Chains A and B, each alone.
Chain A
C-alpha cells in the first residue's frame, strides 16, 4: 500500500487485497469516499443482507440512509446532489456491490435511471420538484423501459402515450423487470407516441398505475423487482420530459447505469475472491490448509488477477468519462468483460468453498446468483458483444 522505496515488496510478498497497488492511482478524496462507502456497507448492509436475500426483501428505509450519505444521484450536479466525479461514483458502486448487487442496483436505478433522465431531459420545474427529494431518499424512483416482449430490442415497445385534445396524455401498456417498481413513488416511463419515443414522470399514486411484485426470483433477491401496469394512466403535459424525443433518451440513461455496473461487478468479484482466499487459508484437509494445494492456488491467482484487471479497466474508463471522452462502445467493453469475469470468479470461488459455498453463511452463492441477472440486464452480454463487433468491423450484426 506504500510507495516508499524502503518498503518495496520482497520476493514472495504481495498485498492480496491490492496486488497492483491501484490505491495510489486514487486521490485522497477518492480513497476517503471509497472507505466511507465500504464502512457503510460493512455497518448497514453486510450484517443483514443474507436475511434480506433469503426473505426476498430490501428495506425501503435504506433509501434515506443512502441519501444522507450522498449516494443517490451522487454524480449529478445541483438539486441536492453531491456532484462527484465519475470515478467516485464508480468506486461507490464497487463497494456497494461488494455488499450485494441488489444494493448497487438500488443506487443505479435511483441515480442513473430515475434521476438522470429528469436531470438531463426534464424542465427546470420538474428538476426542482423531484431531484432534491430523490437525492435525499425521500422519494424512490424506478425506470420503465423493458417490456415482457421487448428486451434487447427496446424500440419494439408496445406501451403507448396518446395525446388527448385537451392536452393530457393517456398511457397504456406494461413494463417488466423493473427494479424498485413496487416501492417507488415515481416512475420514469418510456412510451411510443405519434411523434416517437417520449419519457414521462409518473407518480405511482396516479389512477390506473399499479406495480405487482415479481415473485419466485432466485437472483437479486435482496432487491425489489416488479411489473408496471399502465391502464389508462392520465398525465398532464407538465409530466412529460420536454427535452427527449427518441430512443436516444432512454439509451443514454442505460449508458450511465452500465458505467456503474462495470465498476460494481468488480466489487462482487472481489468479495467472492476475498471469501475464497480467507476460507482456503483456514480450511484444513489432508492435514494442511487447502490454500497450499496447487489447484486451489491456481483458482485464487486467477481470481486475484481478474479482480485487479477489472479494477484497472474500470478506473481507466472512469478517468475517460471524467475527461468527457468515453464512448458508449467503450462502456460496453467494460460491462461485457467485467460482469462475465465477476461471474467466472464467483463460480470459481464457490468451488473453493465446497459445500459451504452454497449457503448464505458465505457471500459467494448470493453474488453468483445475483451476477446472473447483472450478466443480462442493462444490455445482455450478447448485445454488448455485438456492439463491440459493430464498433470494430463497421458491420451491424443485430438484425
Chain B
C-alpha cells in the first residue's frame, strides 16, 4: 500500500503573518512549518500503510527556497521519503498552477495506490487543489473524508457532510481529501526525528517535471490580486428583546449558523 500525501509548509500561524505589499501575497520568508491541516493526512496514511501490513508513505510538497523543515516533521512522524518542488519560477502560483505542479510531482512516485490531501491549506484556503489534482491525473476524487478503509482495489470513505456522513467508494488509485481533526496526529518520536534527516528528499524544479515555467507562477496565473483591504472591524451584535418568542429567535439564529 503506497500512499502519497500532499503537504504544505506554511509560515508558523503562531507568529503574526504579514502580506508583501508588492505581490499582495503572504510573506513566506520566515520559518515554515508543516501545515497542521496536513498532519491528519499524514497520520491517516501511516495508519493505512500499517493496516495494510506494509508500503511506503511519500510526501509531495512545493515550497520556496528548498524549504524542508515542515517535511522533516512529517518524515519524523514516519513518512519514508519526499518529493520537493522548489523553483523561483513558482512564486505567485495560483491554485490551478499548484495542482499542475503537485500532479506532475505525484507522477514521479512509482506505484502510488492512494493520494491524500488536506481539504484546504491553513494559509491559502482555496480548498480547490485536491479536486484539480484528481482531474489532472484522471483519477476519482472523494472529499472531506472522516475515515478511510482499503478493501482490495477499492477505497471506502466516510465522507463528512453537514448532516452526518455519506459512504462513498472509488477504485484505486484515487485522490481523497482528509478533514482536519478526524485522527490524532502522532508526535514525531525522537528516533523518528533522528532518522528523518537521512530520509531522501528528491528536490526537483519545473524543468525536471517537464513543466513550462511560463505556465505557472505569476506568468501563468489565471488571476490577479488587485487590492488588499483590512478586514472590517467587528460590528455590534443584534439585541433581541424577549417578547415571549425569544427562544425561537435563538433557535433560528443557531440554526442559521448550522451549529444545531
Contacts and interface: CB of A to CB of B under 8 A. Distances in A.
A46 to B, nearest CB: 15
Nearest to A84: B190
Query: Which among A2, A32, A36, A84 has the highest number of chain B CB atoms within 10 Å?
Result: A32
Given A4-B29, A29-B194, A68 B72 contact: no
Contact of B187 (A2, A40, A83, A84): A40
A84 B196 CA distance: 13
A69 B31 contact: no
A240 B196 CA distance: 39
Given A1-B31, A29-B194, A82-B194, A36 B69 contact: no
B190 A82 contact: yes
B72 A82 contact: no
Contacts of B72: 28-29, 32
A95 B189 CA distance: 15
A82 B189 contact: yes
B193 A36 contact: yes
Contacts of A7: 29
A85 to B, nearest CB: 9
* Residues of A contacting B: mostly: helix
A88 interface: yes
Interface residues of A, number: 21
Query: Which among A4, A82, A83 has the highest number of chain B CB atoms within 10 Å?
Result: A82
A28 B197 CA distance: 9
A1 B14 CA distance: 13
Interface string A181-206: 00000000000000000000000000
Contact of B189 (A2, A28, A39, A70): A70
Query: Which among B15, B29, B187 has the highest number of chain A CB atoms within 10 Å?
Result: B187
A33 interface: yes
B141 interface: no
A310 B18 CA distance: 32
Contacts of A84: 190, 194
Contact of B190 (A1, A4, A39, A74): A74
**Chain B interface residue bracket vs A:** 10 to 19
B30 A2 contact: yes
Given A1-B31, A4-B29, A68 B193 contact: no
B99 to A, nearest CB: 29
Contacts of B193: 29, 32-33, 36
B76 interface: yes
A211 interface: no
B191 interface: yes
A153 B188 CA distance: 42
A1 B194 contact: no
Interface in B180-204: 187-191, 193-194, 196-197
B76 A68 contact: no
A2 B194 contact: no
A69 B190 contact: yes
B189 A32 contact: no
Contact of B197 (A1, A29, A39, A70): A29
A71 interface: yes
Contacts of B15: 1
B31 A33 contact: no
Interface string A244-275: 00000000000000000000000000000000
Given A29-B194, A83-B194, A1 B30 contact: yes
A29 B31 CA distance: 14
Interface of A: 1-2, 4, 7, 28-29, 31-33, 36, 39-40, 68-71, 74, 82-84, 88
23 contacts: A1-B15, A1-B30, A1-B31, A2-B29, A2-B31, A7-B29, A28-B197, A29-B197, A31-B69, A32-B73, A32-B76, A33-B190, A33-B193, A36-B187, A36-B193, A39-B187, A68-B187, A69-B189, A70-B190, A71-B190, A74-B190, A83-B191, A84-B194
Interface of B: 15, 29-31, 68-69, 72-73, 76, 187-191, 193-194, 196-197
Given A2-B30, A70-B190, 20 more contacts: A1-B31, A2-B29, A7-B29, A28-B72, A29-B72, A29-B193, A32-B69, A32-B72, A32-B193, A33-B190, A36-B188, A36-B193, A40-B187, A68-B189, A69-B187, A69-B189, A82-B189, A82-B191, A82-B194, A84-B194
Interface pairs A-B: 6 shortest CB-CB: A70-B190, A82-B190, A70-B189, A33-B193, A82-B191, A36-B188
